[in-house]
Amino acid sequence: MRKKVILFMSFTISLFPMFMKQYGGCKGVQEITGMINLLNPIGILSVVLFLAGVWTPFHNKSVNKILGAMGVIGIVISEIYQFFTWHIATITGEMSLQNSLSLAYPEFYIGLAVSVFMVMAYFIIDKVMEE
């Protein structure tokens, strides 16, 4: 139970950067928080997979590990996906690394770094702590 609580708390803390403004960056572009990363289908699915992996008691423990890992990795994928696409439909009309770089605030990179760190922490916590 201790391992589950530590994993859950770590995951929750890793989501805090999502509340910062992460996108906007140029005149006339509304600032958008990182919640856009969590509220897209990839983000929602990632949170659900993580919660299922940590809190659902499967007979085969490897299922828990796989679902939890998919959840933390999915958050990183969600952030990268949003980084490249959030501005296409309403602002730029095209997918461009230059636009993505120029329209992202430094907080995006902090959030991404925290999420990548959470992936590493998940595997370390999972390996070090046995239930």
The structural domains of the chain, with segments of one domain joined by +, span 2-128
Cα(102)–Cα(41) distance, integer angstroms: 25
Q: Is 109 left (phi over 0), alpha (psi -120 to 50) or beta?
A: alpha
Q: What are the E-state strand segments in the chain? A: 21-23, 32-33
pLDDT one digit per residue (tens) for the chain, 131 residues: 888 999 999 999 999 999 998 888 766 677 888 898 889 999 999 999 999 999 999 999 899 999 999 999 999 999 999 999 888 887 888 888 988 888 889 999 999 999 999 999 999 998 898 75
Cα(32)–Cα(30) distance, integer angstroms: 6
Contact predicate 22/35, CB 8 Å? no
Cα(61)–Cα(50) distance, integer angstroms: 14
Q: What is the pLDDT of residue 10?
A: 93
